[in-house]
Every structure is written in C-alpha cells, then in structure tokens.
Amino acid sequence: MRCRFTAAEANEKVIIPHQETNCLSPMPEQYAVLGNPVSHSKSPLIHAMFAAQTGQDISYEAIEAPLDGFAATVRQLREAGYKGCNVTVPFKHEAFALAQRHTPEAATAHAVNTLLFADDHILGHNTDGIGLVQDIQHNLGLALHGKSVLLMGAGGTAHGVILPLLQAGATLAIANRSLDKAEQLAASFHQYGKVTSSSYAALDGHVFDCVINATSSSLSNALPPLPEHIFSAGALAYDMMYGRQTPFLEFAARNGAATLADGTGMLVEQAAAAFEFWRGIKPDTRPVLARLRT
C-alpha cells in the first residue's frame, strides 16, 4: 500500500524544478515512511510541504511493510535508489538492528526512526526526542532546564526522548506499567543526567513541572493510573498522541495542568529534523504546523 503527496499537491503555487526542465532532468530523490499500519501517516503530506517550501526535488510516500518483511522492504528501497526512510510502529527496534552506523541519539535510544542510505552503509538516527524538545521549548515556549519531568511509558518512543530531555537540563522520572522496563531504562541513562524510575503507585505525593504521556494508552482510550495531585503550579501536560482528545489531557485539564499539548508539534518537528538530516536544510515548521492544526 502506497500513499504519496507531491510537493505540488502540498502547495499548488510551487513549481517543481524537474517539471520545469526537459525530460533529461533527474528524477526526484525518493524517501518513504515504513510502518504497519501506515495509511494514517501524515508524514507524506508534511514532507511534501517541507519540499515545496525549501525547493527540494524529492518524493515521499507511505509504504506498509509486512510485519515479517521490514529488512526485505528496506533492501528493495535501496535497490530502487531511495535515499532514506522514516520508520514507525512497530519497526523502530528492527531499524536500529539493521543500521550499520548510528548517531548518538539512535545509539542511546536503541531505536531508530530515520534511516539514511549511504552508498556503503545504512546510518540510523532518532529524531523523536529532538522533535519533542523543540516543540516544548520553541513552539510552546517552555524551558526545560531545571524542570522536573515525569515520562510515562518505556516503549520505543520513550527510549528516543530521554537523552534530548536530559540534554535540555530536565530531571527525569520514568513510570511504566511494567516497572522492570522503567528500571532498566532509567539505569541505562544514568550517565547522562538525573533519571529515576517509579511505579505509578509510588508517584503519590510527588509533583512534576511537566508530565509526558509516551504510552500508547490513549489509543485504547485508557489512562495510566496517575495520582490526581501530580501537576505542579504552571505544569505542562503533553500527550504524544495527536489528532484527538485523550483521557490523559482530560485528566490534566481537571487536575490543574496549566498547559495542555498533543503530539502534533512533535510530529512536525521530528519530521523537520529528519528532513534536515537527509537534505541539509532546515524547513520552517510553523506553516506546516498551522496547516495540520486546521
């Protein structure tokens, strides 16, 4: 299953360089997002808007890889001349294993959401945390330095956001339904900053400046068992889920969080970081974010 937006569809006023010239013009360089399922992905639209805005001659499509066929799909893309791909659920750990080299973000996360196909190797990167921190600090205007952050969840995406949160100067507590995973995750990041683990029950009596839902609980309209008094005065409640009201954001609104945010900004910012990683040019995320929000 493939779904593709061209830059022209993203912005009808944009002239695509290869369409302006003759038939000897090079084909656009090809990128894709691989996932299963992936038909819901907004990445083709986002990257088409970035390409239109920056004048980059690329194509970008959503490709559903078979659950047992991620590596084979990547091989086919490389053979077809693709330059890279994004990776989403459930392939981020497989993508990490497939990459022969890793950026520091990917190496610490043990998860990859962006692959760059070089001639002789595959380079794995992780832009989830870069996108989250950019959204909180730049788009929402909330500095993380010195702030206490509760990160709920210990899955693929939580892995990717810990290092950038610590690098931004936050102190981190990780809570997860399966406590052993939170403990292992916290232990593996000790060297990078102040990070602890907790069960949900043990959070009672603690408050945080920022509470981030990196669980997939919102997908099933569930809410992790948070104590009601978890938000400090002025706290941010951030749900990585996007495009719908979630039980966590409703809980946060009822229990005193000052700012509520869904994951739309993170989605656009992690895409921008991937685009820059591939193309060496940073797109302006503001118009893209505004378009997605309407």
Catalytic residues: 92
Q: Which two tokens stand for residue 101?
A: 């080299």
β pairing state of 114-117 and 148-152: unpaired
Nearest-approach distance from CB 234 to ligand NDP, in angstroms: 23
Nearest-approach distance from CB 159 to ligand NDP, in angstroms: 8
List phi, psi (to 5°) of 145.
-60, 125
Nearest-approach distance from CB 78 to ligand NDP, in angstroms: 24
Pick 59 or 213: Cβ nearer ligand NDP:
213
Pick 104 or 225: Cβ nearer ligand NDP:
225
SS3 letters for the chain? CEEEECHHHHCCCCCCHHHHCCCCCCCCEEEEEEECCCCCCCHHHHHHHHHHHHCCCEEEEEEECCCCCHHHHHHHHHHCCCCEEEECCCCHHHHHHHCCEECHHHHHHCCCCEEEECCCCEEEECCHHHHHHHHHHHHCCCCCCCCEEEEECCCHHHHHHHHHHHHCCCEEEEECCCHHHHHHHHHHCHHHCCEEEECCHHHCCCCEEEEEECCCHHHHCCCCCCCHHHEEEEEEEEECCCCCCCHHHHHHHHCCCCEEECCHHHHHHHHHHHHHHHHCCCCCHHHHHHHHHC
Nearest-approach distance from CB 153 to ligand NDP, in angstroms: 4
Pick 8 or 223: Cβ nearer ligand NDP:
223
Nearest-approach distance from CB 182 to ligand NDP, in angstroms: 8
Residue nearest ligand NDP by beta-carbon distance: 155
Pick 16 or 261: Cβ nearer ligand NDP:
261
Applying CB under 6 A, the residues found at the interface with ligand NDP are 89, 128, 153-158, 176-178, 181, 214-219, 222, 224, 240-242, 263, 266-267, 270
Pick 56 or 157: Cβ nearer ligand NDP:
157
For residue 61, what are the CA distances in angstroms to 21, 140, 147, 284? 23, 29, 38, 21
β pairing state of 58-64 and 101-102: unpaired
Pick 29 or 276: Cβ nearer ligand NDP:
276
